[in-house]
Amino acid sequence: MSKGETRRVETEDGQLMLAVQAGDVAQLSVLFERHHRRLFRFFVRLSGDRQTAEDLVQEVFFRMLKYRLTYTSGGQFIAWMYRIARNVHLDGLARQREEAGAGPEDALESAPSAGPGPEERLRSAQQVQLLRRALHSLPVEKREVLVLSRYQNLKYDEIASVLNCEVGAVKVRVYRALKELGQAFFLLAGEKAS
């Protein structure tokens, strides 16, 4: 998609959300159609679980409805949506911790879903599995920024808006997350080999 097309879509999304805000809640259906897949992929990468991801996507759109008055016409819709998504994910983690008792938050998340899938058709299926595990082993803040940068097609200034930090901080965080992912991957690969 060209820059011009991206800007046009972003403007349309904003206008749709303003319509929802004004009471035409049926327009949320259009936003759902446009964005639920990318949100689903975002949550699958973060949580490693399809069912959890589906639940979280629903929660995001529910909160868009509930907090529609907080959307401002000057703001970027995508960044606003991902801010909600991020909070939904963090709230989900907090609920998991409360239900399971205190403990390291990332240890309580479900392991990546196993089972048959397209990866079995790849020659590097084991590598894919190791990479998934390595990604899932990262602290949630690092996993978040890596997923936003690598998979969600967000620009650095959009990621900065989502994470409420400076663009410079995003650049550093992405680099450090990638570095740590590499270390985790090779550690797991070494364990597998031995």
Partner 1 sequence: MRCERARERMAESLAGALQTPAAGELDAHLAACEACAAEWVALRDLWDSLGRLPEEYPGPAMRERFDAMLAAYQAGIAQASLIRRPGLLEQLSAAWLRCWPRRPAWQFAAAMAVLAVGIGVGRFSAPDSATPPRRAGANTELARLRNEVHEMRQLVALSLLQQQSASQRLEGVNWSVRVEPNDTEVLSALLRTVNTDGNVNVRLAAVDALRYFGDSPVARRGLAQALSRQQSPLVQIALIDTISELRDRQALPEIRAILNHCSTDENVRQRAQAALVRISSSEPRPQDSRR
Rounded (10°) angle between helices 28-47 and 140-150: 130
Positions 59 through 98 that interact with partner 1 (CB under 8 A): 61-62, 65-67, 69-70, 83, 87, 90
The C-alpha atoms of residue 81 and residue 64 are separated, in whole angstroms, by: 8
User: SS3 for 154?
Assistant: coil
> Per rule CB under 8 A, is residue 50 in the interface with partner 1?
yes
> Per rule CB under 8 A, is residue 156 in the interface with partner 1?
yes
The C-alpha atoms of residue 188 and residue 171 are separated, in whole angstroms, by: 26
Range list of β-strands (E), 68-132: none
The identity of residue 28, as a single letter, is L
- Tell me how far the alpha carbon of residue 120 is from its chain's centroid: 24
Q: Which is nearer to partner 1, 58 or 110 (CB)?
A: 58
Positions 110 through 129 that interact with partner 1 (CB under 8 A): 117-119, 122, 124, 127-128
Q: Which is nearer to partner 1, 106 or 175 (CB)?
A: 175
> Per rule CB under 8 A, is residue 169 in the interface with partner 1?
yes
> Per rule CB under 8 A, is residue 136 in the interface with partner 1?
no
List Cα–Cα distances, 123 to 32, 120, 127, 128, in angstroms: 35, 8, 9, 10
Binding site for partner 1 (CB under 8 A): 25-26, 28-29, 32, 36-37, 40-41, 44, 50, 53-54, 57-58, 61-62, 65-67, 69-70, 83, 87, 90, 117-119, 122, 124, 127-128, 131-132, 135, 146, 149-151, 155-156, 163-166, 169, 171-175, 178-179, 181-182, 185
